[in-house]
Structures are given as structure tokens and as C-alpha cells.
Structure 1
Amino acid sequence: MSVGHSGVGSWPGTDLAGAVRLTLGELPGAAYVPELPGRGPGADMIGRALGAVTVLGADLQPTGWRLVEGSSMAQRRARALLRDDLDVLEEQAQGFEGGLRLTLTGPLTLAAAVELPRGGPALADPGATRDLRDALAEASADLVADVARRVPGAEVSLQWDEPMLGSIRTGGVRSASGLRRLPAWGSQEIIGHLRPLVDRLAAAGLDPSRTLVHSCAPGPGIDDLVAAGVGGVGVDVDQLARADLDAIAALLEGGRILHLGVARTVPVDTLPTADALAGRALSVLRPLELGPAIADRVVLTPACGLAGWTERPATQLLRRLGSAAGIVDEELSR
């Protein structure tokens, strides 16, 4: 049993084949398929999710992605990029065996980021929010099945990215006019909205323990995510409040996975030492007093994606996270 390390989502540059080779080689047991938004529209987190969705149309407007009747050229480009990504993954992962994590934008952030046909966030319309959620659930199941077929040795898992979850929980999402904020979502609403995604993947054969929600914003509501049935939660150490520590302890004691964002991503290309990264992890883990038994449930990561970085420092950061994981292992065993 040992602490792991991994990335989160986005990666710098435009060379997907190189990025996939890197994650497969540098992240044993915790490899993932990175997003490369530097390739342009459709390669970002929202574009990838809408490229995976097949039952709803979307177009890219000056203000961002918007729901439309039928697919647009921008959405078709996003779909083509995703297909190309999967082709590259299949080629690079020949003979690969081990954990392989896929990432898609989560349903709440997707609804907050995508606009209704007449403008304003889809989150303002319960019907559109449900439609996006259900479309994403199908897309998630299809993506997992496709990758499992392409890379038969992989233990596929799925991460939903929810950077706007905290704002949704506190009523921080603005209306179309920008003059008011949408109502805050309570625990039961969030649990009820996320649970169908976990259930859909379970029905498709993916164990819920292989699902994860990542949020690098304050107030992700860890208890709500656990209650929704996800197998793991990813958080930014700097955004944790004291109350979150109790939720993290319960999560780990319940056998779920914690992705602990110990590496700040701003300012870009700034490399902390492995000791500093380990110290940040231990500042969260030591007070829990759970000992070495939780080591294999902890994965050290950057706080957020690394798209703004350059490739060499980003690669070095992953390696330092690996060194930090070894230090945390030793310290937890004392």
C-alpha cells in the first residue's frame, strides 16, 4: 500500500501523443488521458464534454458554448478531436495494463457554463439542466465502454470536473442579465442530480468506486459527493476549510479515494520541492490520525490543470509529486 500521484485534467502544448506517452509512463497505476486546450476550440474541458455528447446540439458563440438545434461545425470539430484523441490513446497504450482515468466536465459545471438558446446559463432552466445531465450520463458510459474496448488491459475510471460546484452551492452563478444570481443548490438537489450519473455507469458495468468528482474551488461539499455515490473526490488543499477535514476523514475511512491537490498551479512554471509538497499533504493527513492504512487511498496531484504551464516544468512537477508521495508514505508509517 502506497500513496500515489497523478495529474488532474489539462496539459500544456498540442502534442497529444507525447502527453499520453508521458502519463502512461510517469504515472504507474494512476495514468489519465489529458486535455490539451492549446489545440483550440473544442479541445477545452467544455468542448470535450460537448464533443462526447451525441443527443444534444451545441454551437460555439463569442460568449461561449450554447445549446442549439442540431450539431454545429464547432461541435463536430469537438467530436473529431475526441475521436482523434481516442485513436492516439489506443495506439500509444498498446499492451498497457493498469489504472487509466478519463475526464469530462461534470453535469453542474456544464449546465453553468453552457448557455440556453436565448442566452444565460442552462442552469437557470431545470429542464435543460436535466437534459444536459442525462446526455452527459450516456456520453460518460459510451466513453468508458469505448476506451475499455480500445485498451483491454486498462482499469478504466472516470473523473467529472466540477470547478463551479462551490459557486452553485452558494448561489454564485449569475443570470443572463448579470444583475442577479441563480438560487443556491442544496445538498439534496446536488445529490439527486449527481446520483443518476453514477447509477448509469454502474448499469453499464463500471463499479462506482471508479468514479471521481474533482473541484479545485472552495466549498465542494465533500459529504454531498460521497452521498451521491462517487468513489472518490479531488480537492485543492488551499481551498479546504476546517469542516472539510471531518468529511475527508469519513471519506477515507469509508474506503473512498482522495485526490489531494497539493501543488499550486499559479504562478505558472513554479516548482516546489518534494519536501514542500509532502508537507502540504501531511498538513491535511496527519490531523486525521488514520495512520498508514489510508496510504493506498491517497493520490497527490496538482490543484488544477496545467494548461497554462510549459511542458518541461509540468513534467518535472509530476515527478516531484512522485517523490513527495514516497515521503508521505514514510511519514504516515511512523
Structure 2
Amino acid sequence: MSAAVEAVLRGGVATGVGSWPGTDPREAAATVVGELPGLAHLVELPERGVGADLLGRGCALLVDLPFDTTPRGYRFAARPGGVARHARDLLRADLDALEEAWERAGSPGIGRPVKLQVAGPLTLAAEVELVNGHRVLTDPGARRDLAESLAEGLARHAAEVAKRLNAPVVLQLDEPSAAAVLEGSLPGTSMLDSVRPLPEPEALDLLDTVIRAQSAPVIVHSCAAPPLALFRRSAAAALALDVAVLRTADLDGIGETLDAGKLLVLGLVPSTAPAGEPGWRELAARGVRLVDRLGFPRRTLAERVLVSPACGLAGATPEWARRALDLTADIARAYTEEPETLEAE
């Protein structure tokens, strides 16, 4: 990892995944900026409806690819529809709220990064339809156009945010559909129409088309069981994973990720309130067990690991969302200050 990336993206930091409960962007921004001083993020508020969710925000950043919706979801269109205008209006409102919260926090400014999230090219290609109703993923030219459009739009978005906040930017590509894209498990337009699996080299090319176009470090994230080999081979600086979905078979891939010089963002805090609320030490133990089993020193937790909730918090109550950030911050602090004293069980 280059010195320039290390200056912006570092271990021992608490951050969020993306989504947040409620519909008030100012309240959400103020909470996240206040609770996550090391790496706050631009929240998504999907409760506001169409255009405010992960796919709507991703489509809003596309350049020269107009879109609208159908009863089945988002679809490319001959000209921008009302949904496209609404999605971009929501994004502008969220940016205004983040800028206000940033300034109220005392102009953290230089040296304090901010994270932006967007659906990655594989997930957008899997979930957005062409005009004819087929998934973008089924058309090689269309998926290439989508990746290039997203790369350009995301670079513009990052530049605008960096200028408005006078802060370095970290980018996160959310790829919850990546595994389904590789496995060929996405349904087609009918029972007789299947979507073929995308070969890993082609998937990697789409992912890296977006990543390599960015001047900011990029995290690749999935709340679902991740295709670790694909993510590890990408140009991303870090991988963000829900620890609860990792299997024993994934351990070698996690170790290879660290050996490759990439950082990990470990999702350790439940994204909705559990039946019995765990303490931060119990949750921190999951990360400790992981590095111990991999044979890495405990200082890896401070140097190479960031901490986050397991997934977005849109499905949580406002009370648990705030509590989740508190727990996340407590774990990151412990990894930095006292990793050797933490229990692994």
C-alpha cells in the first residue's frame, strides 16, 4: 500500500457502512460526523423511497446513462425520468447536510477523511435493466459502458466532496451481488431465460475499470458471503466484510489479503439490535480470534484493521444505530490502545 493511501486510509479506525434509519439527512449527518471522528461517511437514507437506496444513488452518479424505474426496479431509459432527477436532488441534499455537519464539528478539514459509498459495477450491472428488460449484465457492451460511466461519475463526485469539505476522500464500492454474478444464480426475464455466470477475469476488469479511475483509495465491500479471490485480486486498497458470514474456508483468503498489503474493514457489530445486547469486549473478540487463527500479531488490529457494523444500519432503530456506532468506536479504540490484553474467547 502506498504512502499516499496510508495517509488517508489506516487501521485502528471506526467507520460506518452506509445506510442509516430515518429520513432526516441533517440529523443523520450530525450523528455520524460526531460519532465517527476517524472516518465519517455520507449516509444513505433508503426510507425516503425510490432514488434514495443503494441502486438509486449509484444510478444518480452515472454519466450520460439516463435511467428511470419500472415495477421491477431501475432501468436505463432514452431520457432521464423523474426518478433520476429525484435521486440527484436527494444526493445534493445529503451533501449539503454533510457539509453543514462538517462545519459545525469545527471544520475538521485537512487530515480527516470522509467516506463515500456507491453500488459497484457488478451489482449495478446485475440489478439494473436495459431498455429491453434484460439485466445490463447480459450485454458485454452495456456493462462496459456502465463501468466507464460509473468510473467517471464517481471521480467527479469524490472531487466535489473533497472540495466542499476540504478533506481527503475514501471511496467504498458496495458489491452485494458480486457472488451471484460469478455463480450465475441471477434469474432472467423468464423461467427459460437464465443469466450466465460472468467469468472472473471479466468481473475483475469491470471492477478495476472503476477503481483505477479514482485518485482516492477504494474499499470493496459486501455484507453477503464475499468472493474473496475476486476482491483480493482487484486494485482496491481494502476489503470490507461481515465477520459473521465468513467460513473456515475463507481464512486462507483473509490471510492472503493481509499478505497482499490490503487493509480489512471488519464488520463486528450487529446491524440490528440482538436479543441480548453484547458488550464491546465480546464483539471485539471476534477480530482477535481471526488474527490469532491467521497467525498475525495482535498489532495487526491497530495497523491493518478498521472496524464497522456488520452492514448498513437502515433496518435498525435509531437507538440501536447510535449504540452500534458507540460499540464500533469502543472496539477500534481497544484495538489501538490495548490489543494484547483482549480475550479471544
Q: Would the TM-score normalized by the shorter structure come out above 0.5? A: yes
- 1:292 and 1:329 in contact (8 A); partners too: no
Deviations 1:73-105 (A, max 9, x none): 111110111112112222221212312100000
**Is 1:285 equivalent to 2:298 in the alignment?**
no
**Is 1:11 equivalent to 2:23 in the alignment?**
no
Q: Which amino acid aligns with 2:307?
A: L
Residues of 1 paired with 2:327 and 2:238: CA distance?
Answer: 23
Q: Unaligned stretches of 5+ in structure 2? A: 1-9
- 2:271 and 2:309 in contact (8 A); partners too: yes
Equivalent position to 2:315, from 287, 298, 308: 308
Aligned to 1:140: 154
Q: Which amino acid aligns with 2:265?
A: H
Deviations 1:23-46 (A, max 9, x none): 111112111111001112111111
Percent of pairs identical after alignment? 38
Q: Number of residues paired by the alignment? A: 326
- 2:272 and 2:317 in contact (8 A); partners too: no
Residues of 1 paired with 2:275 and 2:150: CA distance?
Answer: 33
- 1:54 and 1:139 in contact (8 A); partners too: yes
Structure 1 stretch 308-317 or stretch 295-304: which is displaced more? 295-304
Equivalent position to 1:176, from 189, 193, 207: 189
Residues of 2 paired with 1:149 and 1:198: CA distance?
Answer: 20
Task: Give, in angstroms, the shift of residue 320 of structure 1.
Answer: 1.1
Equivalent position to 1:70, from 58, 79, 82: 79
**Is 1:158 equivalent to 2:171 in the alignment?**
yes
Map 1:1-334 → 2, pairs under 5 A: 3-94=12-103, 95-97=107-109, 98-152=112-166, 154-201=167-214, 206-207=215-216, 210-218=217-225, 220-266=226-272, 271-294=277-300, 295-329=302-336, 332-333=339-340
Residues 124 and 85 (structure 1), Cα distance of their counterparts in 2 relative to 1, 3 Å cut: same
Q: Unaligned stretches of 5+ in structure 1? A: none
Deviations 1:47-87 (A, max 9, x none): 11111223101111111111111100111110111112112
Residues of 2 paired with 1:232 and 1:75: CA distance?
Answer: 31
- 1:268 and 1:308 in contact (8 A); partners too: no
RMSD: 1.9
- 1:270 and 1:313 in contact (8 A); partners too: no
Q: Which amino acid aligns with 1:150?
A: R
Deviations 1:107-135 (A, max 9, x none): 10001111111213211111211111111
Deviations 1:168-217 (A, max 9, x none): 1211111111444322223212211111112211xxxx14xx10110011
Residues of 2 paired with 1:14 and 1:99: CA distance?
Answer: 24
Residues of 2 paired with 1:66 and 1:211: CA distance?
Answer: 26
Residues of 1 paired with 2:235 and 2:98: CA distance?
Answer: 28
Residues 42 and 280 (structure 1), Cα distance of their counterparts in 2 relative to 1, 3 Å cut: same
- 1:198 and 1:211 in contact (8 A); partners too: yes
- TM-score normalised by the chain length of structure 2: 0.89
Q: Which amino acid aligns with 1:257?
A: L
Deviations 1:298-329 (A, max 9, x none): 11212211111111111011101222233444
- TM-score normalised by the chain length of structure 1: 0.91
Task: Give, in angstroms, the shift of residue 223 of structure 1.
Answer: 2.9
Residues 284 and 240 (structure 1), Cα distance of their counterparts in 2 relative to 1, 3 Å cut: same
